[in-house]
Amino acid sequence: MTPHHLNHLAAAAISPASVGPAVRLVVGLVTIPAVLIISGEVGAP
């Protein structure tokens, strides 16, 4: 966690309306590469 990330979290916490889209964005950015990596490792012979 860098101060830059903390600033984004603070901004999201301050404005509840932005939490939903921000969470979906973060989950997407984290989940998609993770799924690709995991599926690649699992699918590898």
pTM, two decimals, is 0.40
Structural domain total, the chain: 1
- Round to whole Å and give the CA distance between 45 and 13: 44
Q: What is the pLDDT of residues 5-35, one digit of tens each?
A: 777 767 766 667 667 787 888 888 989 888 8
Q: What is the pLDDT of residue 45?
A: 62
Q: Domain of 28?
A: 3-43
Q: What is the pLDDT of residue 25?
A: 87
Q: What is the pLDDT of residue 18?
A: 66
Q: What is the pLDDT of residue 42?
A: 78
